[in-house]
Homo-oligomer: A and B are copies of this chain.
Amino acid sequence: MPLIRLTVPDHLPDTSVQALAQAVHGALVACCNVPQADRFIVINRLPGSALMLDPYFPNVTRSADACIVDITLLGGRTADQKQRLYRHIAAGAVQAGLRADDVMVALTENSAIDWSLGRGMSFDTVAASDTHPL
């Protein structure tokens, strides 16, 4: 239940976008103890003109392919986990045919009680009864 949202320019080939999506999820699994099956991704394709991203801030060079990855996830990951997450996402993006400079990530944290994954149940209840990892 991290919820991954990709905002990508619509000229990107679908295979790259799909590969980026898989890379982000894979990085969460590898670095943040997210279960493999815990995969929720939304892809928002927008015209390139709808992404107005500074080409250089703070120390990168963005192209017209620049993407935004925003992730809502449970609080509690350490700085080290987040730093590893960013490196994994960047490496996965490169494997997806994108440039590492073109992938920006923003995290927003919440709590287990802030999620219902379906059936009207709060996730903290599910987690408590099923001893699911986060």
Contact with B along A33-59 (1 / 0, CB 8 A): 001011111111110011111101111
List residues of chain B with CB within 8 A of the CB of A66: 118
Q: Which residues of A contact B (CB under 8 A)?
A: 1, 3, 7, 21, 35, 37-46, 49-54, 56-60, 62, 66, 68, 70, 72, 79, 82-83, 86-91, 100-110, 113-127, 130, 132
Give complex CA distance A106, B52 in Å. Answer: 19
Nearest-Cβ distance from residue A66 to partner chain B, whole angstroms: 8
With contacts A82-B113, A103-B118 taken as known, whether A46 is within 8 angstroms of B52 at the C-beta atoms is no
With contacts A72-B70, A79-B122 taken as known, whether A50 is within 8 angstroms of B44 at the C-beta atoms is yes
Q: Name 7 interchain pairs, CB-CB below 8 A, sorted by A.
A: A37-B56, A37-B57, A40-B104, A72-B108, A88-B120, A100-B118, A109-B110
Closest to A45 in B: B50
With contacts A42-B50, A43-B50, A46-B44 taken as known, whether A60 is within 8 angstroms of B108 at the C-beta atoms is no
List residues of chain B with CB within 8 A of the CB of A59: 119, 126, 130
